[in-house]
Structure 1
Amino acid sequence: MDNSYIRLFENLNSNDVPIVGGKNASLGEMIQNLKQEGVRVPDGFATTAQAYWEFIEANQIKAQIKSLLHDLETEKQSLSEVGKAIRRLFKKTSFPKDVEEAICQAYQQLSQRYNTEDVDVAVRSSATAEDLPEASFAGQQETFLNVSGEEELLEACRECYASLFTNRAISYRQEKGFDHLEVALSIGIQKMVRSDLSGAGVMFSVDTETGFPDIVLINGAWGLGENVVQGAVTPDQYTVYKPLLKNQNCCPIIEKTKGSKEKKMVYASEGSSKTINIKTSSQERNTFVLENEDILQLARWACVIESHYEKPMDMEWAKDGETGDLYIVQARPETVQSQKISDSFETYRLKEKGNKLLEGLSIGDAIAAGKVCCIKSVKDIDQVEDNCILVTEMTDPDWVPVMKQVAGIITDYGGRTCHAAIVSRELGIPAIVGTGEATRLLKNGQEVTVSCAEGDRGYVYEDKLDYDVQQIDLENIPETKTQIMINIATPAAAFRWWRLPVQGIGLARMEFIINNLIKIHPMALVHYDNLDDKKAWKKIRDLTRGYDDKRDYFVDHLAQGIAKIASSQYPHPVIVRMSDFKTNEYANLIGGKQFEPKEENPMLGFRGASRYYSDRYRDGFALECQAIKRVREIIGFDNVIIMIPFCRTIKEADKVIEVLAKNGLKRGENGLKLYVMCELPSNVLLAKKFAERFDGFSIGSNDLTQLILGVDRDSSDLSDLFDEQDEAIKIAIEKVIKVAHQQGCKVGICGQAPSDYPDFASFLVNLGIDSISLNPDSVIEVKRRIAQQEDNN
């Protein structure tokens, strides 16, 4: 039934943007080309640009619109006054008869297709200048949900036309250089997905913060998807590793974070409003919106859509609560990371410590400082001052005009795909979203620092803190024979440094994941029902809601943290050091004091390998092993290598290897490699015997220096004696490399020395060390130096 005013989605494609706008053209493109790939898109139809121009002409409002826009340009009237006046013009109009008949006829046919009298539809605006690679126009026009009946539909269409001149849409077109009177508006009328009975959300085929291309990021909440888009709730977050999706034996979900999902939007049963927000139940808040199969299905669709469009994509999804089917309801090009130049990037670093006031999800990786401007309503945005830190509950497109003038943004609600996150990325402004209590804790005029440079958590610090910015140039980096790797502390840091020219991770510290993500002593989870500390018991209860077996909480979070690190360098090797807390550090974990002895010198006490076979910690180590096994065999990262720290004797090495095997981690099975830290004199003296039991050594130059020279590395009085380049240390390292190579064993170094001392890196290259693992910020400089040294050799 296509005509000059109506086009069915199934008859549209990407070439039809001038006729039906980016949003509707994309829906048609997917229905035409991706249906055979299994991608489900709800049926519908679009009004054309011609229908819009006929509407303007029939109601004779073009001259008035032009006059009002001229008033805005000449500052005779404000943006608010002009926008309101133009929208009022639209609302006094009526549709030309032939346009109205075309819309009603198409709606009747859509209703018949779904075997109902008045099908419920979503009515969305689709401007002919939106969803372009360089301009998203995200949320600039209105959306109307649960619209049914011809009268309601025509009213929603009129409101859509009027929304082409919302304040935010006018402002955005001005900024992007679009002529207001050259942009037409198409309307998409699409069958509603009953996600009010299930859930919905947003999905990106690239990491929105770092541009890492190998993941799909999914946000979801209960009910209709508007709350996620607007940032009105803190949603669940799921991250999937794309390259392993083709392997049916893998489940490459590398992150699942439960959002608070405070409310959900559902169909309204009474009153004039068609939708209503209601509070979610306790069970809903503590349950993931999507099961693993649904997460993987959406991620596969994201890959199909990205491959078809040949660019990173921003998509909206919905799950029908009546049928259980998933749908893609929108797809547009991603407009931030895809536009960035990849041959360089900036890194920010705080130069001083501060008092942490609150935290949330970090958006971007920059730092900003300024005075707080706490505004709870968009009505008060005229109070926003230039270069302030905007603090509010959430933002929507009406906030855009002032978001451009602030230094940073902090919100109570929202996830990585909410409006505040999308716009702040596009503007290059650091933002922290989903803090839960920013508007309550922060006061107008208070000086704060917003730091998004510390991983996936963003922190708000008291006062203006000093920070620096470093430009990392990735052009003309020479290749090296020596394998250059990096040391990574947290999963978030792995994504931050994915662009670096390295071949793996030489040290991923498990204890950082336990301390920052899990926070609970593993033995306190094993013996949860018998904890002496009732406060710790309550904290564990709250952190592990949704887990009947508390041990699963540890395994899930540890596995996902390791998997996220491993994904950043797959298929290059990622060496994961098993837990190496000292007893005092373990005791500081929630519930830890009950399970840790008090030691005079924890540095030389119950740590590393000695814990793994001990009755004190054996069950905790079993959880670590389960996590590693899951990462390698279920999630699919067989590039993970296990490293054993502080292994004092050969007898101890044999005990640890036996315990690993009992936990399903047998050296050589499924390609599993075992490394040992070389950080004790015994590792050097007995290098041949250790090499018979392990596949590689990783030199920990800090501990090795401490124990060979007998110097506390943290002692300020003895700092002059602590020298990783001392002759005794060099002799020890030379011996280990020589013996290991004789046994066919790899040797790398993960200590600080190569990052700090150029001559030390050259010394290692001359010895023929296999790999050098560096701190990320020193990679470029040291790699250039190593290449030069190799050329000289």
Structure 2
Amino acid sequence: MSDASSPVVWFEDLRRVDVAKVGGKNSSLGEMIQTLGQQGVDVPAGFATTADAYWNYVDENGIRAAMTELIGKWTSGKASLPETGEAIRKLFLHGEWPKATADAILKTYHELSKRAGRDNASVAVRSSATAEDLPDASFAGQQETYLNIAGEASLLDACRRCYASLFTDRAISYRQTKGFDHMKVALSIGVQQMVRSDIGGSGVMFSIDTETGFDKVVLINAAWGLGENVVQGTVDPDEYQVFKPLLGDPSLRPIIARKRGAKAIKMIYGTQDQPTRNVPTSKAERAALVLRDDEILKLARWAVTIEHHYGCAMDMEWARDGDTGRLFIVQARPETVQSNREAAVFKSYRIKSKGKTLVSGLSIGDAIISGTVCLIDSAKDIDQFIDGSILVTSTTDPDWVPIMKRAAAIVTDHGGRTSHAAIVSRELGLPAIVGTGNATHLLHTGQEITVSCAEGDEGQVYEGVADYAVETLNMDDVPETKTKVMLNIGNPGAAFRWWKLPADGVGLARMEFVISNAIRIHPMALVHFDRLKDEAAKQEIAAITAGYQDKPAFFVDQLAEGLSRIAATLYPKPVIVRMSDFKTNEYAGLLGGAEFEPDEENPMIGFRGASRYYSPRYREGFALECRAIRKLRNELGFRNVIIMIPFCRSVSEAQKVLQVMAENGLRRGEDGLQVYVMCEIPSNVILAKQFAEHFDGFSIGSNDLTQLTLGVDRDSGDLAELFDEQDDAVKWMIRSVITEAGKAGAKIGICGQAPSDHPDFAKFLVDCGIDSISVSPDSFVAVKQKVAEAEGKGVLAASLRASAGG
């Protein structure tokens, strides 16, 4: 137990109410040790100096008046920020420790070393400002942290430098912007036993999706070595996402995304004069993921525990000891960006036309902006930055904040979603693309570009000024409807953007989008990898599937995880996943695909959909699709997924497909599995009653149904005027199948483009009695309003008929 009058306090004696005493960082560490240790959350031991100790240092060295005078000269314009910061830091660095404070620090340090079982234990020395981590200010990276500090002299020197770091240029500027009184903010020093992550791994974790605010996922970044490289953005880390609602079931492994980062360097222990240093990682380290599945799940469960305890989304740092393999949480603070966004309103950005892609990386935010590049190599060249330009640089640290505030957008070579560039960009509300790898080599000052963060996890830098649309969606304007309005989602990377929409589920998730973008390899080329004749394709496939001895397993894992992000977005509402619906020419375009596809004159009505699934040409590929769905439902836990079979021409074909699915572990009705069929061929309408005996529901594909009803190739420019989804013949087809489905007790919806392009079409569908309408997310609000209007008119008309009849 710590002495109440002591200048130091053990973490175990602190609670989160002690912010004024030891700052947000240290009070939070104490809170976790006291309350969450018994729930299995491991936090390294340590102690903190108090705010009183800081002020005692200031007054014992007689520097309070000088600090006040220097700040006053700066705020009145008589001195520059660099001059002011340097002068105040010198006051601290040249100061002497009050004997009582130094004795208390060293005595407690030796006790900490004794507890650790070694002399002069290695510690992390962290800064914790007494005003930090407030709801509208994170103070992320504003003060310094010193790692691998050992010995009395080194410890006191690091503590002195922590005090001085309260007045770095960036910290002074940040406080001034946020309206904090410089002379009322104190600094507490946290001295924490080092976790040997220099020979293990470390990273950052959020209990919320950092870009969209989606509150049902944990985001984890990981790299080899000490964690400063991840925080600073000098390394491109691994990234994992875990779905929180399914973490409570120990039989499930709801890891919905794994992305291997380059991890080109790692920070390790150095010498006493230079306690840490960066070294290149080995080829094996770059090729491997830092965390095993069990470690990912353990960290995610800790994130949920910590979030639940604090009652808000959290930003955490973790480390894994390379000696013991134990995981630790070394820091936790409230997330301050997404938590403060207005929930009811968000903007939707959509690219209409664009130039060629110049570079790509991780998207931060969801906006699009065009502008002129200003390439800056060093923060020392701040005077060269042109206000309103797009900042392009290798990486950023807190010294870059003054430039970043003046930028329209930011593009960096290095960094992950939890890097400094990403955190500050979010806080400033700027779109950013980080971890491009080569932006500083391919872009140049004065070049016009468009930065797009609106197309999913991957952000794109396009040449020139793109044409894009911005729409503001207000959730307060969305009425309730009896007819379900669902979403069409193809891109897993963009799915989380739409989690706030009060949609009734996903009416169409396109499997082929995941295959063409995340996998890029023909499934049969993975099944028969060894017999591929195209050596160039074989080498590229080998590179993409590195780490997979079992090549087909790559397809299964990537497809299951890609679809899981869509299934998670509106969980537990239904998500209808359409099995692959490529045409043969599209399949042939996949890596290795040309060796397995026939050459057809008209692929649009050729070897596609259900006919492929039982054919010897593709049956093994379809088996991989089934394996992915099994993993998605049974291992990841997304039982809300419904399967949909496209382009099923006959009832006998339906029976064949269902049999092949059953042979691959997907039996209709087992474990609640529902199977729908696309209604896009006239035979589906004509024999709707018979099809309903084999399927749980129908989804009308209005594009193909229009094409085959009217005999018009939907891709024909010459016949474009004849292609009309609202043609009377097409409407007759739609009305007929809705009626027959209703009689058979089968669900029926529409996932074609018509309701998205023509919201008035919704009235016709409502009048027919359709169960659900699935639309593109950007037209959801408009369609929902049209449906409500149609339903209201329907009620009014029925009421008037009843009155007339009476």
The residue that corresponds to 2:307 in the other structure is: 306
Q: Distance in 2 between matches of 1:213 and 1:698?
A: 30
Q: In structure 1, the residue corresponding to 2:346 is in which secondary structure?
A: strand
Q: How far does residue 350 in structure 1 lie from its aligned partner after superposition? A: 2.0
The residue that corresponds to 2:410 in the other structure is: 409
Q: Mapping of 1:599-678 within 5 angstroms?
A: 599-678=600-679
The residue that corresponds to 2:62 in the other structure is: 60
The residue that corresponds to 1:755 in the other structure is: 756
The residue that corresponds to 1:41 in the other structure is: 43
The residue that corresponds to 1:726 in the other structure is: 727
The residue that corresponds to 2:519 in the other structure is: 518
Q: Mapping of 1:557-568 within 5 angstroms?
A: 557-568=558-569
The residue that corresponds to 2:322 in the other structure is: 321
Q: Mapping of 1:678-717 within 5 angstroms?
A: 678-717=679-718
Q: Distance in 1 between matches of 2:177 and 2:453?
A: 26
The residue that corresponds to 1:279 in the other structure is: 280
Alignment deviations for residues 663-688 of structure 1 (CA, whole Å, 9 cap, x no partner): 10000010000000000011111111
Q: How far does residue 716 in structure 1 lie from its aligned partner after superposition? A: 2.2
Q: Mapping of 1:462-541 within 5 angstroms?
A: 462-541=463-542
Q: Mapping of 1:92-241 within 5 angstroms?
A: 92-241=94-243
Q: How far does residue 476 in structure 1 lie from its aligned partner after superposition? A: 4.2
Alignment deviations for residues 601-630 of structure 1 (CA, whole Å, 9 cap, x no partner): 110111111111111111111111111000
Alignment deviations for residues 586-613 of structure 1 (CA, whole Å, 9 cap, x no partner): 1111111111111111101111111111
Q: Distance in 2 between matches of 1:531 and 1:792?
A: 61
Give the stretch that moved more between structures: 343-352 or 703-712.
343-352
Q: Distance in 2 between matches of 1:279 and 1:561?
A: 31
The residue that corresponds to 2:398 in the other structure is: 397
The residue that corresponds to 1:595 in the other structure is: 596
Letter of the structure 2 residue corresponding to residue 497 of structure 1: W
Q: Mapping of 1:287-436 within 5 angstroms?
A: 287-436=288-437
Alignment deviations for residues 549-596 of structure 1 (CA, whole Å, 9 cap, x no partner): 111111111000011100001111000000011111111111111111
**Would you say the 8 A contact 1:4–1:50 is kept in 2?**
no
Total equivalences in the alignment: 792
Q: How far does residue 65 in structure 1 lie from its aligned partner after superposition? A: 1.4
Q: Distance in 2 between matches of 1:471 and 1:758?
A: 18
Alignment deviations for residues 688-725 of structure 1 (CA, whole Å, 9 cap, x no partner): 11110000000000000000100111222212211111
Q: In structure 1, the residue corresponding to 2:455 is in which secondary structure?
A: coil
Give unmatched runs, 5+ long, in structure 2. 795-806
Q: Choose from 260, 264, 267 the match for 2:262.
A: 260
Give the stretch that moved more between structures: 556-565 or 371-380.
371-380
**Would you say the 8 A contact 2:523–2:624 is kept in 1?**
yes
Q: Distance in 1 between matches of 2:272 and 2:465?
A: 49
TM-score by length of 2: 0.97
Alignment deviations for residues 79-114 of structure 1 (CA, whole Å, 9 cap, x no partner): 112111211221111111111001001101101111
Q: Distance in 2 between matches of 1:743 and 1:493?
A: 36
**Would you say the 8 A contact 1:313–1:334 is kept in 2?**
yes
**Would you say the 8 A contact 2:354–2:465 is kept in 1?**
no
Q: Distance in 1 between matches of 2:369 and 2:91?
A: 42
Q: How far does residue 351 in structure 1 lie from its aligned partner after superposition? A: 2.6
Q: In structure 1, the residue corresponding to 2:760 is in which secondary structure?
A: helix
Q: How far does residue 493 in structure 1 lie from its aligned partner after superposition? A: 2.1
Give the stretch that moved more between structures: 366-375 or 416-425.
366-375
**Would you say the 8 A contact 1:125–1:141 is kept in 2?**
yes
Q: How far does residue 271 in structure 1 lie from its aligned partner after superposition? A: 6.4
**Would you say the 8 A contact 1:520–1:592 is kept in 2?**
yes
TM-score by length of 1: 0.99
Alignment deviations for residues 120-178 of structure 1 (CA, whole Å, 9 cap, x no partner): 10000000011112100000000000001111100000000000001110110010000
Q: Mapping of 1:59-98 within 5 angstroms?
A: 59-98=61-100
Letter of the structure 1 residue corresponding to residue 779 of structure 2: S
Q: How far does residue 69 in structure 1 lie from its aligned partner after superposition? A: 1.4
Q: Distance in 1 between matches of 2:516 and 2:73?
A: 59
Q: How far does residue 745 in structure 1 lie from its aligned partner after superposition? A: 0.7
Q: In structure 1, the residue corresponding to 2:77 is in which secondary structure?
A: coil
Quick one: percent identity of the two aligned structures? 63
Q: In structure 2, the residue corresponding to 1:311 is in which secondary structure?
A: coil
Q: Distance in 1 between matches of 2:250 and 2:133?
A: 34
**Would you say the 8 A contact 1:586–1:596 is kept in 2?**
yes
Q: Distance in 2 between matches of 1:472 and 1:610?
A: 41
Letter of the structure 1 residue corresponding to residue 105 of structure 2: I
**Would you say the 8 A contact 2:209–2:218 is kept in 1?**
yes
Q: Distance in 2 between matches of 1:468 and 1:73?
A: 42
Letter of the structure 2 residue corresponding to residue 446 of structure 1: Q
Q: Mapping of 1:559-578 within 5 angstroms?
A: 559-578=560-579
Alignment deviations for residues 535-559 of structure 1 (CA, whole Å, 9 cap, x no partner): 1111111111111111111111100
Letter of the structure 2 residue corresponding to residue 638 of structure 1: R
Q: Distance in 2 between matches of 1:355 and 1:115?
A: 60
Alignment deviations for residues 220-258 of structure 1 (CA, whole Å, 9 cap, x no partner): 011111111111111111100001011111111101111
Letter of the structure 2 residue corresponding to residue 290 of structure 1: L
**Would you say the 8 A contact 1:660–1:666 is kept in 2?**
yes
Q: Distance in 1 between matches of 2:90 and 2:262?
A: 39
Alignment deviations for residues 154-204 of structure 1 (CA, whole Å, 9 cap, x no partner): 000000000000111011001000011110000000001111111100000
**Would you say the 8 A contact 1:40–1:328 is kept in 2?**
yes
The residue that corresponds to 1:787 in the other structure is: 788
**Would you say the 8 A contact 2:227–2:319 is kept in 1?**
yes
The residue that corresponds to 1:460 in the other structure is: 461
Q: Distance in 1 between matches of 2:750 and 2:248?
A: 35
**Would you say the 8 A contact 2:451–2:461 is kept in 1?**
yes
Q: In structure 1, the residue corresponding to 2:704 is in which secondary structure?
A: helix
Q: Distance in 2 between matches of 1:489 and 1:40?
A: 40
**Would you say the 8 A contact 2:314–2:332 is kept in 1?**
yes
**Would you say the 8 A contact 2:614–2:656 is kept in 1?**
yes
Q: Choose from 236, 250, 253 the match for 2:252.
A: 250
Letter of the structure 2 residue corresponding to residue 180 of structure 1: H
Letter of the structure 2 residue corresponding to residue 16 of structure 1: D
Q: How far does residue 381 in structure 1 lie from its aligned partner after superposition? A: 2.0
Q: In structure 2, the residue corresponding to 1:529 is in which secondary structure?
A: helix
Q: How far does residue 477 in structure 1 lie from its aligned partner after superposition? A: 2.1
Q: In structure 1, the residue corresponding to 2:546 is in which secondary structure?
A: coil
Alignment deviations for residues 716-752 of structure 1 (CA, whole Å, 9 cap, x no partner): 2212211111111111111111111211111010001
**Would you say the 8 A contact 1:451–1:458 is kept in 2?**
yes
Q: Distance in 1 between matches of 2:748 and 2:584?
A: 29
Q: In structure 2, the residue corresponding to 1:201 is in which secondary structure?
A: strand
Q: Distance in 2 between matches of 1:295 and 1:271?
A: 34
Letter of the structure 2 residue corresponding to residue 759 of structure 1: D
Q: In structure 2, the residue corresponding to 1:475 is in which secondary structure?
A: helix
Q: Distance in 1 between matches of 2:354 and 2:442?
A: 20
Q: How far does residue 444 in structure 1 lie from its aligned partner after superposition? A: 1.3
Q: Distance in 2 between matches of 1:651 and 1:284?
A: 52
Q: In structure 2, the residue corresponding to 1:285 is in which secondary structure?
A: helix
- Asked if residue 25 in structure 1 is aligned to residue 48 in structure 2, the reply is no
The residue that corresponds to 1:773 in the other structure is: 774
Q: Choose from 1, 13, 16 the match for 2:15.
A: 13
